[in-house]
Chain A
Amino acid sequence: DVKVTQSSRYLVKRTGEKVFLECVQDMDHENMFWYRQDPGLGLRLIYFSYDVKMKEKGDIPEGYSVSREKKERFSLILESASTNQTSMYLCASSIPGQGWIEQFFGPGTRLTVL
């Protein structure tokens, strides 16, 4: 079974802090994704990566950056957290050669910025 793990289930940070959200997948997937999920808005793509050291902006990249130094790990960084970044963050990966066809999601990190 594919396993996508996220470093924290719940996180509380203060405005202005630098926040790191970590995601690890154990199936040698090339493609990895970061989404945020908000009630009534569904999932919105923040960043994605097709390979190590490669990144592409999604629909809402402002205020975020990412890092992919190893194939299995994709980190989301909030350089200076703000209250409007309070949300559920979901990481996903997909099978090599299948692009976006089936994404495997982690359990999510619920981030609260005070």
Chain B
Amino acid sequence: AQSVTQLDSQVPVFEEAPVELRCNYSSSVSVYLFWYVQYPNQGLQLLLKYLSGSTLVKGINGFEAEFNKSQTSFHLRKPSVHISDTAEYFCAVSRGGYQKVTFGTGTKLQVIP
């Protein structure tokens, strides 16, 4: 079985500061990894995905994530956040393209002016 842990339920950060949202997964096989973002009163939107290849994945809105197999992590980073990045971020894992995706519990990023 696969699972995802997002240890931080809320992360406050000042505008223009860097941020890292943590995600750890457990799976006995190779995985696909995803980050989704949910802006207030909206559905989820794919931010980035890791399927294979380079462990550093770049996504939309200046976000990137690094797949670390030895630490079973897929942390999301942005060097300088904006007010508009205030949202809830979900990490997700799958064992393959046609395998069920399991979502984490979400991390609320609050950007402080």
Chain A residues within CB distance 8 Å of chain B: 4, 35, 40-45, 58, 90, 92, 98-103, 105-108
Contacts and interface: CB of A to CB of B under 8 A. Distances in A.
Q: Which of A4, A43, A102 has the most B CB atoms < 10 Å from its CB?
A: A43
Nearest to A9: B41
A100 B98 contact: yes
B101 A100 contact: yes
A53 B106 CA distance: 32
A101 B49 contact: yes
Interface string B78-113: 000000000000100010111111011110000000
A102 B49 contact: yes
Interface residues of B, number: 22
B41 A99 contact: no
B54 interface: no
A64 B85 CA distance: 34
24 contacts: A4-B43, A35-B103, A40-B105, A42-B90, A42-B103, A42-B105, A43-B44, A90-B44, A99-B99, A100-B94, A100-B97, A100-B98, A100-B99, A100-B101, A101-B49, A101-B51, A101-B94, A101-B97, A102-B46, A102-B49, A103-B44, A105-B43, A106-B43, A107-B41
- What's the dominant secondary structure at chain B's contact region? loop
Given A40-B105, A43-B90, A101-B49, A107 B43 contact: yes
B105 A90 contact: no
A25 to B, nearest CB: 12
A58 B103 CA distance: 13
Contacts of A103: 44, 46, 101
